[in-house]
């Protein structure tokens, strides 16, 4: 047979679109042509496949005109993931393996010149795509990628270490072919991956390490319970970074679906590790990061820091030092939980449901309001520094809290505070109340849902209306304060939102001073 079809998948955002690798062998001048909107690294597969076949002792049809088409032709293809399906297509078209036995299988893997298989990006995204099809398709991946793909429940994943390991089960009838369904599960080259057991997540830093700062810890608890964003302002060394790095340990444990989505995004970026399974990510980009680094981009589009923080924490230290374009790019994903990267040739959508935790100094020198040292900034300098944060961006941050500097005696003599596990238990109960009531965290409420689920008592409604009018709040700021008050009520176990809950929520929107 001179024509063979092998199934694989291409990555486009978090989606894994099916790709058919068509290989045709014909008489004529010897050549190796690869078509189908392939990037440079895909076209280089010609040399990798040729060397891998020859060094593995297999026959490369060097006297044939080889045409490889990656269909559909208008779908961009990148990376070396098509090396293995191209090699198998050449072997099937030349009759060295049985093309009929390839039906119902999908392949992805990069080939070394010796025929060894190397890991590829996006194994989890590929496995999730097959899981959604519910069609019983079996997937063959290299070591490292196969372990990732096996995390998806109900998938059939095989691991192969070498090209010969893949060839052996698909030899023609009469040859020494291995049984496909009874493949070994030990450490041999061709092995079916068993469902991965639940792993204990790596422990987070403990909140008990932070001395004092009761108000900031309370704000962290509220933010974790309701899914709210948080801005901390205070002088250098007051503990803002320590608090932010311990925030992920206060969040409820990840559900399986959340862990799969988070791991799939990390797999696309090539940064997923099995020891980080079910651990909420904390991303901390430097303040020189560009807008593209934060939201994603490139060709083909890759996820940025906000997507890598999906179901986790995005910590932006020295917030006013970030480029204005980068900060303004956060406004849409803070509202929607998704980011769409649009380019002339294609667009890709990535999830970005993260919790923003930001930290900043109150002025350029950092000591405005600090009792230990006098501030040397002029009012104009302070105004320009704080004006780097636009009003619309600050409106989208639910909690604003001051983190004052601690006196030396308080720092040295203060006892350890509550452990993260204690706070996490209260957060989990409050989050569970919100989910049972409305099916989503309080931060995700919009429009009429806010009025229906806040259950604002008449006195609390009048208090909020009067305060918002006097403070000149926008409608967005008022709604966000109301959602924070609903979270405070959930932490207190109250059915309705009371005046005390609204009053506390109002205190978390008064950080930046003129």
pLDDT in tens, 375-387: 889 999 998 998 8
pLDDT at 110 over 80: yes
Taking the C-alpha atoms of residue 70 and residue 56, their distance in angstroms, rounded to an integer, is: 24
Percent of the chain with pLDDT over 70: 93
Taking the C-alpha atoms of residue 420 and residue 451, their distance in angstroms, rounded to an integer, is: 32
* Model confidence pLDDT, tens digit, residues 216-252: 999 999 999 999 999 999 888 888 999 999 999 999 9
Helix (H), strand (E) at residue 92: helix 83-93
Sign for the CA dihedral angle at 244, 246, 252, 253 comes to: positive
Kindly indicate the confidence band of residue 203, based on its pLDDT and cuts at 50, 70 and 90: confident
Taking the C-alpha atoms of residue 183 and residue 170, their distance in angstroms, rounded to an integer, is: 12
Sign for the CA dihedral angle at 440, 347, 123, 168 comes to: positive
Kindly indicate the confidence band of residue 511, based on its pLDDT and cuts at 50, 70 and 90: low
Section 460-478 average pLDDT: 88
Taking the C-alpha atoms of residue 123 and residue 108, their distance in angstroms, rounded to an integer, is: 9
Taking the C-alpha atoms of residue 276 and residue 267, their distance in angstroms, rounded to an integer, is: 12
CATH numbers and ranges of domains, the chain: 3-192 (3.30.230.10), 207-439 (3.40.50.300)
Taking the C-alpha atoms of residue 153 and residue 196, their distance in angstroms, rounded to an integer, is: 8
- Are 485 and 509 in contact, with CB atoms under 8 Å apart? no
Query: What are all long-range contacts of 360-366, with beta carbons under 8 Å and residues at least 24 apart?
Result: 360/231, 360/232, 360/233, 360/318, 360/319, 360/320, 360/389, 361/233, 361/234, 361/235, 361/236, 361/318, 361/320, 362/233, 362/234, 362/235, 362/386, 362/512, 362/513, 366/235, 366/236
358: left (phi over 0), alpha (psi -120 to 50) or beta: beta
Residue with tokens 């690869």: 34
pLDDT of residue 340: 87
Q: Hey, which residues does 293 pair with through a beta bridge?
A: none
pLDDT of residue 366: 84
pLDDT at 49 over 90: yes
pLDDT at 308 over 80: yes
Burial of 205 (0-12, 13-18, 19+ CB in 10 A): middle
- Taking the CA atoms of the chain, what radius of gyration do you get in angstroms? 28
Section 200-206 average pLDDT: 76
- Are 313 and 247 in contact, with CB atoms under 8 Å apart? yes
| Token code pair at residue 479 | 């709604």
**Cα–chain center distance at 201:** 17
Distances in Å between the Cα of 427 and the Cα atoms of 204, 215, 488 are 16, 16, 10
Taking the C-alpha atoms of residue 288 and residue 274, their distance in angstroms, rounded to an integer, is: 30
* Model confidence pLDDT, tens digit, residues 385-438: 988 998 888 888 999 999 988 877 777 777 777 899 999 999 999 999 999 999
Closest CA to 357 of 376, 339, 330: 330
pLDDT of residue 185: 47
pLDDT of residue 30: 92
464: left (phi over 0), alpha (psi -120 to 50) or beta: alpha
pLDDT of residue 300: 75
């Amino acid at each position: 047979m001179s024509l063979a079809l092998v199934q694989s998948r291409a990555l486009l955002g978090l989606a894994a679109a099916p790709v058919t690798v068509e290989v045709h062998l014909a008489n004529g001048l010897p050549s190796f042509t690869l078509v189908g909107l392939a990037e440079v690294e895909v076209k280089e597969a010609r040399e990798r496949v040729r060397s891998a076949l020859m060094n593995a002792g297999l026959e490369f049809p060097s006297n044939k005109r080889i045409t490889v088409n990656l269909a559909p032709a208008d779908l961009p293809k990148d990376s070396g993931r098509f090396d293995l399906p191209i090699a198998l297509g050449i072997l099937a078209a030349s009759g060295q393996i049985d093309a009929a036995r390839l039906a119902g299988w999908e392949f992805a893997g990069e080939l070394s010149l010796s025929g060894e298989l190397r890991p590829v990006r996006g194994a989890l995204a590929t496995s999730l795509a097959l899981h959604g099809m519910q069609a019983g398709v079996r997937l063959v991946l290299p070591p490292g990628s196969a372990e990732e793909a096996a995390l998806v429940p109900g998938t059939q994943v095989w691991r192969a270490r070498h090209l010969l390991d893949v060839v052996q089960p698909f030899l023609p009838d009469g040859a020494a072919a291995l049984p496909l369904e009874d493949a070994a599960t030990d450490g041999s080259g061709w092995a079916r991956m068993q469902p991965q057991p639940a792993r204990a997540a790596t422990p987070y830093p403990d909140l008990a390490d932070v001395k004092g700062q009761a108000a900031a810890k309370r704000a962290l608890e509220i933010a974790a319970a309701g899914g709210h964003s948080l801005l901390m302002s205070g002088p250098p060394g007051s503990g803002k970074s320590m608090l932010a790095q311990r925030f992920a340990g206060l969040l409820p444990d990840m559900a399986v679906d959340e862990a799969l989505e988070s791991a799939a995004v990390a797999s696309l970026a090539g940064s997923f590790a099995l020891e980080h399974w079910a651990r909420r990510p904390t991303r901390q980009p430097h303040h020189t990061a560009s807008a593209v680094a934060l939201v994603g981009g490139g060709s083909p589009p890759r996820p940025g820091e906000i997507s890598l923080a999906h179901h986790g924490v995005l910590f932006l230290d020295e917030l006013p030092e970030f480029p204005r374009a980068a900060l303004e790019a956060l406004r849409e994903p803070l509202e929607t939980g998704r980011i769409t990267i649009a380019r002339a040739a294609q667009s890709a959508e990535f999830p970005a449901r993260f919790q923003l935790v930001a930290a900043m100094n109150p002025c350029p020198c950092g000591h405005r309001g600090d009792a230990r040292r006098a501030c040397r900034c002029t009012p104009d300098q302070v105004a320009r520094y704080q004006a780097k944060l636009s009003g619309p961006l600050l409106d989208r941050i639910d909690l604003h809290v001051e983190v004052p500097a601690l006196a030396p005696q308080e720092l040295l003599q203060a006892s350890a505070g509550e452990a993260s596990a204690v706070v996490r238990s209260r957060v989990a109960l409050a989050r569970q109340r919100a989910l049972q009531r409305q099916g989503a965290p309080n931060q995700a409420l919009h429009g009429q849902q806010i009025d229906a689920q806040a259950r604002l008592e008449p006195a609390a409604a009048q208090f909020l209306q009067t305060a918002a009018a006097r403070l000149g709040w926008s409608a967005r700021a008022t709604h966000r304060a109301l959602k924070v008050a609903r979270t405070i009520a959930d932490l207190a176990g109250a059915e309705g939102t009371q005046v005390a809950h609204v009053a506390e929520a109002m205190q978390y929107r008064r950080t930046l001073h003129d």
